[in-house]
């Protein structure tokens, strides 16, 4: 345990200052994003063994390089500092080139990855599909009968995977009176203001009404899709989310540290955003995807599923959707973003500046974990994409 004065010296505030009400706000997020399990109930994702990592390479030469960040140029080190990066890790050809950690970041520590959790949940769906346990063309109600009568009653699993459902729900991160705030309370991420018995996550999801239009037509970024996918994964696998993750991804990857995922009052996993992992283990996920589903000779996913995820996607649905301004030539498939850049890099993205960027053409995987003050910062997202695109070509 860190002594109180040492804690305050490292983070600039006392541990007692961090609460369930403020944990996602600056400056408290610098500590909270590494220690979510102290604030929100969490379940462990077991690793094969807690094995120390090899020392990282020297990143100093890259940190000193000047790179394009979209609206100008600056050194890698200056950009990482300005953009509130906690960790930045670069891999080339399957080898860790080097790792940067901010002064307040514990090297090798776990950090919440927010919506990159969606991309990992989709990997579980792909694994179950390969084993014949999950049919993406099946109706959601085949796995979640409780969804009958909800927005998802006539949706397929693939609609959920691609976030092309139409639901009466808006992703309003900063509105305390919105349905999104009710959703956050159901996940136990926000204080419960409605008495001792909080609404449970799955009950909230299946209470959502259908929005305008038909499923499958427009990409709409709505996180309840991904928590629903987590429940579908559990039903299809016949095991807890954490068990499926350990068995189907973490152990085959040879992950060095166990992960964590936040859970609600019933133990339902926050599959849309609750996973915390170490940067190198997240890089292993990226490397497996870069190599078409294989990691260190072990096949984890079918090559066809990875190819579809990295290059498929409905361009028309994307062009009508929420994020076309960010990646004009992009698309979205199985909860991974296709950038539309030269060489077809693809990525997982999480709020507050979490990125897993995979560039097969340059044999590069980049991990960024951050404590950006705003959950969504469109200008910073554009800068990050320009930064990754430049760095990947330099390595």
User: Percentage of the chain surpassing pLDDT 90?
Assistant: 89
Is-contact 271 237, C-beta < 8 A? no
CA 326 to chain centre: 17
In order of their start, the domains of the chain are 4-109+277-394 (3.40.710.10)
Q: Which helix (H) or strand (E) holds 309?
A: helix 303-311
Q: Which pTM does this prediction carry? A: 0.96
> Average pLDDT of 191-199?
75
Instruction: Please indicate whether residue 115 is annotated as part of the active site.
Output: yes
Active-site hit among 42, 115, 150, 331: 115
Q: Per the structure block, which two tokens stand in for 161?
A: 């995977």
Output the pLDDT for position 194.
Answer: 67
Report the pLDDT value the prediction gives residue 297, as an integer from 0 to 100: 95
For the cut 90, the answer to whether the pLDDT of residue 56 exceeds it is: no
Residues 318-330 have pLDDT tens digits of 999 999 999 999 9
Concatenating the DSSP letter of every residue in 236-265 gives HHTS-HHHHHIIIIIHHHT-SS-EEEEB-T
């Amino acid at each position: 345990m860190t002594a109180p004065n040492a804690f305050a010296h490292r983070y600039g505030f006392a541990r007692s200052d961090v609460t369930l009400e403020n944990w996602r706000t600056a400056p408290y997020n610098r500590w909270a994003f590494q220690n979510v399990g102290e604030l929100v109930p969490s379940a462990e994702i077991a690793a094969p063994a807690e094995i120390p990592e090899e020392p990282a390479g020297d990143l100093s030469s890259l940190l000193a390089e000047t790179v394009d960040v979209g609206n100008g140029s600056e050194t890698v080190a200056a950009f990482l500092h300005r953009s509130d990066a906690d960790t930045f890790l670069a891999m080339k050809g399957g080898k860790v080139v080097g790792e940067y950690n901010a002064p307040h970041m514990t090297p090798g520590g776990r950090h919440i990855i927010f919506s990159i959790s969606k991309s990992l949940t989709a990997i579980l769906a792909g694994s179950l599909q390969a084993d014949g346990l999950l049919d993406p063309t099946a109706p959601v109600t085949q796995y979640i009968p409780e969804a009958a009568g909800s927005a998802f009653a006539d949706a397929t699993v693939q609609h959920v995977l691609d976030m092309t459902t139409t639901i009466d729900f808006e992703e309003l991160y900063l509105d305390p009176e919105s349905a999104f705030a009710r959703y956050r309370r159901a996940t136990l991420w926000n204080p419960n203001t409605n008495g001792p018995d909080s609404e449970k996550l799955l009950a909230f999801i299946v209470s959502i009404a259908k929005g305008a239009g038909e499923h499958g037509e427009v990409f709409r970024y709505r996180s309840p899709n991904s928590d629903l996918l987590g429940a579908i994964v559990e039903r299809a696998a016949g095991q807890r989310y954490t068990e499926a993750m350990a068995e189907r991804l973490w152990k085959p990857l040879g992950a060095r540290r166990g992960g964590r995922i936040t859970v609600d009052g019933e133990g339902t996993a926050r599959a849309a955003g609750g996973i915390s992992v170490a940067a190198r283990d997240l890089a292993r996920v990226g490397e497996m995807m870069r190599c078409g589903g294989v990691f260190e000779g072990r096949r984890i996913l079918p090559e066809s599923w990875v190819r579809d995820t990295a290059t498929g996607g409905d361009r028309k649905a994307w062009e009508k959707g929420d994020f076309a301004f960010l990646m004009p030539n992009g698309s979205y498939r199985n909860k991974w973003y296709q950038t539309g850049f030269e060489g077809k890099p693809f990525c997982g993205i999480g709020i507050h500046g979490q990125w897993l960027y995979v560039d097969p053409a340059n044999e590069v995987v980049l991990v960024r974990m951050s404590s950006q003050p705003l959950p969504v910062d469109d200008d910073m997202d554009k800068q990050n994409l320009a930064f990754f695109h430049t760095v990947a070509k330099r390595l």
